[in-house]
Amino acid sequence: MSEKVLMPFNGTLAGTIEVPGDKSISHRAVIFGSLANGVTNVTNFLDGEDCKRTVHAFRQMGVNIRENGTDLVIESDGITSLTESKQPFYFGNSGTTTRLMLGILSGLPFFTVSYGDASLSKRPMDRVVTPLRKMGAMIDGRSDGSLLPISVRGSTLKGIDYTLPVKSAQVKSAVLLAGLLAEGQTTVTETIPTRDHTENMLKAFGADIQTAGNTTIITNKQRLTATDVQVPGDISSAAFFLAAGAIIPGSSILLKNVGLNKSRTGIMEVLEDMGADIQIENEKAISGEPIGDIRVSYAKLKGTVIQGDIIPRLIDEIPIIALLATQAEGITTIKDAEELRVKETDRINAVTELLSTLGADITPTGDGMIIKGKTPLNGGKIASCDDHRIAMMGAIASLISESEVIIDDISCISISYPGFFTDLESLM
Ligand code: SPQ
């Protein structure tokens, strides 16, 4: 346990930071670099615990991955060169690693066992196991394969036509990755679009893939071609500083090189709706992903309604949006976000407990929460629930709290943002 005591902050936040590389894109850069033939150079890789799990898994299958700070060099002879791991895969806290790897492992010709930490062991895996079994995957595990540990005996897969029953980029990605290895054609349709980094990277690495509307079709291709990947800054990490700049009077922060993929920028639309002062500068594209600098300054905020199609585009930002809502005049309602219940922790409960402890007026609902603002926040002892996004939200809340805030354990922050407190202190 690594407790953190945060004293009340009476100043303003000012300056420029560059948040670390995008977690979703970093995982995928390692996956596709390892499956491709040739040398893939990855720059601005997220050196967080979760992405290291993905690196380690491919090293266990014989891929040569060299690290130099946030740069990676991945050297692979392609899919057919991967070898059976002598040891089980430990995926720690990482849902993305687990679900995407299950898609790949199902179609590789060897036996594997995967397990994770206490939180990951509670997260539902049937959402990927069900479509993978339809493709012919031989998967076993706790609760009939719904929970880790899970074993896979790789087999010949066949393409399927699958409509996603959950709003999940991880499920979509697992099926597309299995489709890459499966006989014939695999079609995946989603009712509400989720992040599309897998599709973008499959295209960049030369896969046979087409997207039309909400449907993606992939055809078996054993040979992908290595290509370099520059990882944009993670908008999910930037979100904590967007919120801090918006709620601390007098603040003005510039966040450089943040990923602005439309499937991830729901938070920007919510900030605008709430009346925040945000501007995007220097927009450009790197490795097929749009990026830009975001300037945020303090402004008076008002409540809003967040529901429907925008939810997958800001799902990981809901904890910090809830904090924003405590500082907005009026009521903020968040609906259709039942997926929050199966993240690293039940984020609906974790957010409402944390913010209630600090004196906010927040009510959980089955699929979201209702927050009445504006309320001053007190100090108190809060629980991170071993969830990086809850811990960072608590740290930003402490900046506007009237007395000391103690977070029970901040070690989980290294999952996605190892330098979080260094960046925060540089703005104080
Ligand atoms: O990897 P993990 O633990 O699932 O990470 C989280 C996060 O907050 O960092 C969710 F807990 O992000 C997911 C995200 O919620 C990352 C992700 C991806 O890279 O594909 C997709 C989303 O999950 P899902 O289940 O909606 O597909």
Give the closest residue to 186 by CA, choosing from 125, 137, 141, 225: 137
CA of 67 to the centre of ligand 1 (A): 24
Q: Within 10 Å of residue 204's Cβ, how many Cβ atoms?
A: 20
Predicted confidence at residue 398, as pLDDT, reads 98
168 lines ligand 1 (CB under 6 A): yes
Q: Ligand 1, atom 12: nearest CA belongs to which residue?
A: 316
416 lines ligand 1 (CB under 6 A): yes
At residue 289, what are phi and psi to the nearest 5 degrees?
-120, 135
Question: Measured between alpha carbons, how far is 425 from 351 in angstroms, rounded to an integer?
Answer: 24
Q: Ligand 1, atom 14: nearest CA belongs to which residue?
A: 316
Distance of CA 356 to the CA centre of its chain: 25
Predicted confidence at residue 222, as pLDDT, reads 80
> Which residues of the chain are modeled with pLDDT < 70?
none
* Domains delineated in the chain: 4-21+232-426 (3.65.10.10), 23-219 (3.65.10.10)
CA of 411 to the centre of ligand 1 (A): 19
Ligand 1 mutation target, pool 127, 264, 316, 390, most atoms within 8 A of CB: 316
Distance of CA 59 to the CA centre of its chain: 22
Q: Do 49 and 415 touch, CB atoms closer than 8 A? A: yes
| 143 token code pair | 């609760």
112 lines ligand 1 (CB under 6 A): no
CA of 4 to the centre of ligand 1 (A): 25
Question: Would you call 133 exposed, middle or buried from its count of C-beta atoms within 10 A (0-12, 13-18, 19+)?
Answer: middle
Question: Measured between alpha carbons, how far is 23 from 92 in angstroms, rounded to an integer?
Answer: 15
CA of 104 to the centre of ligand 1 (A): 18
96 lines ligand 1 (CB under 6 A): yes
Q: Which residues are bridge partners to 233 per DSSP?
A: 21, 258
CA of 195 to the centre of ligand 1 (A): 10
Question: Measured between alpha carbons, how far is 302 from 271 in angstroms, rounded to an integer?
Answer: 10
Mean pLDDT of the chain: 97
CA-CA-CA-CA dihedral for 341, 344, 347, 351, to nearest 10: 160
Q: Within 10 Å of residue 363's Cβ, how many Cβ atoms?
A: 12
Q: Ligand 1, atom 26: nearest CA belongs to which residue?
A: 168
At residue 203, what are phi and psi to the nearest 5 degrees?
-65, -45
Predicted confidence at residue 378, as pLDDT, reads 95
Predicted confidence at residue 408, as pLDDT, reads 98
Question: Measured between alpha carbons, how far is 177 from 132 in angstroms, rounded to an integer?
Answer: 10
Amino acid at 322: A
Q: Do 142 and 92 touch, CB atoms closer than 8 A? A: no
Q: Do 422 and 377 touch, CB atoms closer than 8 A? A: no
Predicted confidence at residue 11, as pLDDT, reads 96
CA of 46 to the centre of ligand 1 (A): 15
Question: Would you call 18 exposed, middle or buried from its count of C-beta atoms within 10 A (0-12, 13-18, 19+)?
Answer: middle
CB environment 281-305: b (16+ within 10 A), e (fewer):
eeeeeebebbbbbbbbbbbebbbbe
Active site annotation includes 316:
yes
Predicted confidence at residue 221, as pLDDT, reads 84
In this structure, the strands spanning 111-115 and 71-77 are: unpaired
Q: Do 196 and 172 touch, CB atoms closer than 8 A? A: no
Predicted confidence at residue 110, as pLDDT, reads 96
Nearest atom of ligand 1 to the alpha carbon of 170:
27
Question: Would you call 75 exposed, middle or buried from its count of C-beta atoms within 10 A (0-12, 13-18, 19+)?
Answer: middle
How many residues are recorded in the chain? 428
49 lines ligand 1 (CB under 6 A): no
Predicted confidence at residue 1, as pLDDT, reads 78
186 lines ligand 1 (CB under 6 A): no
Give the closest residue to 188 by CA, choosing from 207, 173, 202, 200: 173
Distance of CA 292 to the CA centre of its chain: 19
At residue 144, what are phi and psi to the nearest 5 degrees?
55, 35
Catalytic residue among 50, 234, 316, 387: 316
